[in-house]
């Protein structure tokens, strides 16, 4: 049969690279980059090129599964699964009320643009605030800090006219995430550096990105808050900040200056074990700009139990250096399939950013601008009482592999009345679920890039460098004889069975405040009509986007408007709570390295990402597992020698919480005293009996949710965990 080729876009990660899919006899056989898309220029990565294998893999679930009394799984028609799940939810709601029913949206909850909106509509209809996402175990400080600073009603400066970039603990050349545009970042960086762009990276490891940087600072992990405070101190002291912007739109500079006083470059250099002059150089280079933003990634957000303070100080840095678009400037990416960014040169005043809504029963937490704490879900399941979570619906995430404190998570999931996992494989979480719902995969569903329009508003240094948009039809039908369902259709099906009325909101920048429109519950909605509803406020109509099957850049002539007359509000760089927290950091600052490396746990495990995996995604695909069969514990060669281990040896990595096994890897570019491992590998069922390193363990087992955590988001320390490392015993 003839091979046909259809343009689409990749949904293995959030970058949405335009692709061409070869289909033979209804089966996807090959994916390659689409050179007809100018912005991406044919870029794809090794993960995206495995989409055909992902769709046709023998391990893929083609039927939903129900756990049997003996612990095995048997196929169940999805309609029957929905009947049973809805009946159970109905009963739990009647007996215990809405707090007993929780949902979790993970990484792949974003693959289809209607999934998250439908999931939220269902939670709205049952009136449950128990809506958890991966955001609170990622970089939740970003959303919360924005609320504390106040929101500049125009985007931060963009990528293409940046003179400098400061990336703290992110590795966009591998992660294709924050710091560089999510568009062929290697090529973008090369061109930018040719025109004079200067990249600065702060990372304890010589990462792929650090290797390309003009300046690389290699500090101890967990010292980013003092480092940013020192950078701020230099900039304020040397009067290098943007005086005009600060005079017109910023408040609290004097308080900020007083708060950063203890963070002299010398004191911080001793703490972080770097050169004080380099801190000063970074401060001066960043301030000189004149354009370009500072961005933090997951590393520093997970390394110090204070992601909110870190992100707040970074916003302060971008703010006093005037790195927001001002009146008259062109909005580089106003969004396409969403309502455009407001684009006014004025500050919306700070809002309540945490501690509101339904209180959680642990650690004094409640809701926040990043949502309620996912790290608290296990406690909320295990703690008895009328507010206990009894049902969890998890979509596109993998709690067992990715949530911190794996042992507690496993205990909690096993004590639920019902765990529903939507997953194309029997993942670590699926293997503990009562029902595993088999979803359609990306190439079997239409999609549009609407959700990714939000990235420039998420934080400075995120998103595409241009207003790109793409719509794709379904490229193939699901495999013959399969019984798979789109995630949104599953949530709709539950709602219908529960007799609920759902309302959907067009995707806009106003989040939960926008108007929601009721949908007809008598029939399953037409997918295209859902898309129309979701894009009702779009700057570029969906129809227009559809006329560009290879995706396109939809430039706008939106320029930032002047501030409203008489508008008095300012961005607040002197938030009292944040500066009190900073004073605590100053008090704890000690330059004594011997207290840094404890005797029992002399090393620290830090996080990293692997090019051939997407969190726990990709572990079944041959090309990816062949390229990276293990999750190595990378260490400096001198550290390996000191513990009597060579490359490839099996080791045990123990934190106060647990032990994982791994294979030693050599990384001469890593700071001494560190173990660099990626997350979300392996399973929970104890690998301790398996030959060391065979499956590759999850670092989630090493962390603990209750010891050190961000007070506002609840995010525990997930990187920079004290450990010991020794040769494995078998
Ligand atoms: N290939 C691939 N791409 C991915 C993912 C994946 O799993 N694989 N995951 C996706 C997801 S969910 C996300 S959120 C993004 C994340 O994207 P990034 O935030 O860029 O993630 P990482 O590549 O892990 O980079 C974190 C860096 O922080 C450094 N680090 C660790 N501790 C510290 C510290 O205390 N201070 C400093 N300054 N640095 C530190 C690490 O050495 C590492 O280089 O990536 C996305 N992209
Ligand atoms: N120690 C440590 N822990 C971490 C991190 C770290 O750096 N270090 N990173 C954190 C971060 S940034 C994040 S975002 C979280 C991620 O946390 P999660 O989102 O909970 O974890 P993932 O592994 O991304 O889960 C993806 C799941 O979706 C399934 N899946 C794949 N394709 C599809 C699909 O098309 N449809 C559906 N429905 N499911 C699909 C996969 O099989 C997998 O089970 O982990 C966090 N945990
Ligand atoms: S970076 Fe790779 S996985 Fe992500 S969208 Fe592009 S091709 Fe797909
Ligand atoms: Mo993430």
Q: 36: closest CA among 548, 556, 554, 446?
A: 548
In testing the pocket of ligand 3, which one of 10, 175, 184 has its CB within 8 Å of the most ligand atoms? 10
Assign 21 a pLDDT band (cuts: 50, 70, 90). Answer: very high
Region 285-304: what's the mean pLDDT? Answer: 97
Q: Are 29 and 171 members of one domain?
A: no
Domain boundary (40, 56, 72) is at: 56
DSSP assignment of 432-491: G-SEEE-BPPGGGS-EESGGGGGHHHHSTT-S-SS-EE-EE---SPPPTT---B-HHHHH
CATH number at residue 41: 3.30.200.210
Q: Which atom of ligand 2 is nearest to the CA of 403?
A: 47
Evaluate whether residue 536 is within a structural domain. Answer: no
Mean pLDDT of the chain: 94
Is there an atom of ligand 3 within 6 Å of 15 CB?
yes
Q: How many domains does the chain have?
A: 3
Largest CA distance in the chain: 73
Task: Give yes or no: residues 189 and 50 share one domain.
Answer: no
pLDDT tens digits, one per residue of 568-623: 999 999 999 999 999 999 998 865 555 566 779 999 999 999 999 999 988 889 99
306 pLDDT higher than 80 = yes
Query: 192 C-alpha to center of ligand 2: Å?
Result: 32
Asked whether residue 473 is domain-assigned, the answer is no
DSSP 3-state of 712? coil
- pLDDT tier at 507 (50, 70, 90 boundaries)? confident
31 in ligand 3 pocket by Cβ < 6 Å? no
Q: What is the mean pLDDT of residues 359-385?
A: 97
In a shared domain, residues 181 and 302: yes
* Radius of gyration of the chain, Cα coordinates, nearest whole angstrom: 25
Q: Would you say residue 502 lies in a domain?
A: no
pLDDT exceeds 60 at position 644:
yes
- pLDDT computed for residue 652 by the predictor: 93
The per-residue pLDDT for 689 is: 46
Ligand nearest to the CA of 204: 1
Taking only the tens place, the pLDDT of each residue in 55-92 is 999 999 999 999 999 999 999 999 999 999 999 999 99
Q: Assess if residue 1 is contained within a domain.
A: yes
Q: By mean pLDDT, which of 240-254, 281-295, 424-438, 690-704 is the weakest?
A: 690-704
Residue 192 lies in a domain: yes
Q: Is the pLDDT of residue 691 over 50?
A: no
Q: Which pLDDT band, with edges at 50, 70 and 90, does 476 fall under?
A: very high
CATH of the domain at 273: 3.40.228.10
Asked if residue 713 is part of any domain, the answer here is yes
CA of 178 to the centre of ligand 4 (A): 11
- Pocket of ligand 3 contains residue 16 by CB under 6 Å: yes
pLDDT of residue 594: 53
Residues 32 and 166 in one domain: no
Query: Pocket of ligand 1, candidates 133, 297, 403: which has the most ligand atoms within 8 Å of its Cβ, to mutate?
Result: 297
Q: Residue 701 belongs to what domain range?
A: 597-727
CATH of residue 655's domain is 2.40.40.20
Three-class DSSP category at 713:
coil
The mean per-residue pLDDT over the stretch 696-702 comes to 88
Phi, psi of 414 (to 5 degrees): -70, -15
Same domain, 198 and 51: no
Interval 153-194: pLDDT, tens: 999 999 999 999 999 999 999 999 999 999 999 999 999 999
**Residue 486 resides in a domain:** no
Q: Is 12 in the pocket of ligand 3 (CB under 6 A)?
A: yes
Locate the ligand 3 atom nearest the alpha carbon of residue 51 and give its number: 8
Question: In this predicted model, what pLDDT tens digit does every residue of 511-531 receive, in sequence order?
Answer: 556 788 899 999 999 999 999
Residue 362 lies in a domain: no
Mutate to test the pocket of ligand 3, among 16, 21, 44 (most ligand atoms within 8 A of CB): 44
* Cross-strand partners of 661: 652
Indicate the residue among 519, 548, 577 that finishes a domain.
577
Report, as an integer, the average pLDDT of 697-705.
92
Claim to verify: residue 163 and residue 306 sit in the same structural domain: yes
């Amino acid at each position: 049969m003839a091979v046909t080729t259809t343009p689409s876009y990749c949904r293995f990660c959030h970058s949405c690279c335009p692709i061409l899919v070869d289909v033979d006899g209804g089966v996807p056989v090959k994916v390659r980059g689409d050179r007809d898309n100018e912005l991406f220029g044919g870029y794809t990565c090794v993960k995206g090129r495995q989409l055909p294998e992902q769709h046709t893999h023998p391990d893929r679930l083609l039927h939903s599964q129900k756990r049997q009394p003996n612990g095995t799984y048997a196929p169940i028609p999805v309609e029957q699964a929905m009947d049973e799940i809805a009946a159970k939810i109905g009963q739990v709601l009647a007996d215990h009320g809405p707090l007993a029913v929780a949902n979790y949206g993970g990484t792949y909850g974003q693959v289809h643009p209607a999934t998250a909106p439908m999931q939220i509509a269902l939670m709205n209809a049952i009136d449950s605030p128990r809506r958890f996402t991966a955001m609170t175990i990622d970089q939740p400080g970003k959303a919360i800090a924005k609320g504390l600073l106040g929101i500049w009603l125009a985007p931060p400066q963009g990528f293409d006219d940046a003179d400098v970039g400061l990336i703290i603990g992110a590795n966009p050349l591998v992660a294709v995430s924050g710091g560089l545009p999510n568009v062929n970042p290697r090529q973008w960086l090369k061109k930018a550096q040719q025109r004079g762009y200067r990249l600065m990276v702060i990372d304890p490891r010589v990462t792929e990105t650090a290797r390309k940087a003009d300046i690389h600072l290699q500090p101890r992990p967990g010292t980013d808050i003092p480092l940013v405070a020192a950078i701020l101190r230099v900039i304020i002291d040397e009067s290098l900040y943007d005086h005009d912007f600060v005079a017109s739109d910023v408040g609290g500079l004097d308080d900020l200056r007083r708060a950063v006083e203890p963070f002299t470059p010398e004191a911080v250099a001793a703490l972080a074990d770097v050169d004080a002059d380099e801190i000063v150089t970074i401060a001066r280079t960043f301030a000189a700009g004149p354009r370009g933003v500072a961005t933090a990634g997951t590393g520093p957000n997970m390394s110090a139990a204070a992601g909110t303070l870190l992100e707040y100080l970074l916003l302060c840095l971008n703010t006093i250096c005037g790195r927001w678009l001002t009146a008259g400037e062109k909005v580089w990416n106003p969004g396409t399939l969403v309502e455009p960014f407001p684009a006014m040169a004025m500050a919306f005043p700070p809002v309540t950013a945490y501690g509101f809504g339904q209180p959680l029963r642990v650690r004094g937490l409640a809701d926040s601008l990043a949502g309620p704490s996912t790290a608290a879900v296990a406690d909320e399941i295990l703690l008895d009482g009328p507010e206990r979570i009894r049902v969890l619906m998890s979509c596109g995430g993998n709690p067992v592999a990715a949530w911190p404190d794996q042992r507690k998570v496993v205990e909690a999931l096993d004590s639920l009345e019902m765990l529903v996992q939507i997953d194309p494989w029997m993942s670590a979480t699926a293997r503990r679920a009562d029902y595993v719902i088999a979803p359609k995969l990306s190439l079997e569903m239409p999609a549009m890039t609407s959700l990714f329009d939000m990235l420039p508003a998420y934080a400075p240094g995120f998103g595409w460098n241009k207003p790109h948009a793409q719509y794709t039809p379904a490229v193939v039908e699901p495999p013959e004889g399969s019984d798979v369902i789109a995630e949104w259709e599953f949530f709709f099906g539950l709602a219908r069975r529960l007799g609920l009325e759902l309302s959907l909101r067009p995707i806009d920048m106003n989040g939960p405040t926008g108007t929601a429109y009721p949908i007809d519950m008598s029939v399953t909605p037409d997918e295209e009509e859902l898309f129309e509803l979701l894009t009702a406020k779009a700057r570029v109509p969906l129809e227009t986007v559809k006329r560009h099957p290879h995706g396109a850049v939809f430039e706008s002539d939106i320029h930032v408007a002047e501030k409203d007359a008489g508008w008095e509000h300012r961005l607040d760089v002197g938030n009292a709570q944040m500066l009190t927290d900073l004073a605590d950091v100053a008090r704890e600052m000690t330059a004594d390295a011997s207290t840094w490396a404890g005797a029992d746990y002399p090393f620290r495990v830090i996080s990293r990402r692997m090019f051939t995996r997407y969190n726990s995604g990709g572990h079944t695909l041959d090309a990816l597992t062949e390229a990276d069969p293990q999750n190595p514990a990378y260490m400096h060669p001198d550290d390996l020698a000191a513990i009597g281990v060579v490359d490839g040896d099996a080791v045990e990595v123990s934190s106060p919480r647990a032990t994982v096994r791994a294979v030693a890897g050599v990384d001469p570019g890593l700071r001494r005293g560190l173990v660099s491992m990626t997350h979300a590998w392996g399973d929970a069922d104890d690998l301790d009996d398996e030959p060391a390193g065979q499956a590759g363990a999850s670092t989630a087992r090493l962390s603990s949710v209750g010891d050190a955590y961000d007070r506002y988001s609840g995010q525990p320390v997930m990187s920079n965990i004290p450990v010991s490392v020794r040769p494995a015993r078998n």
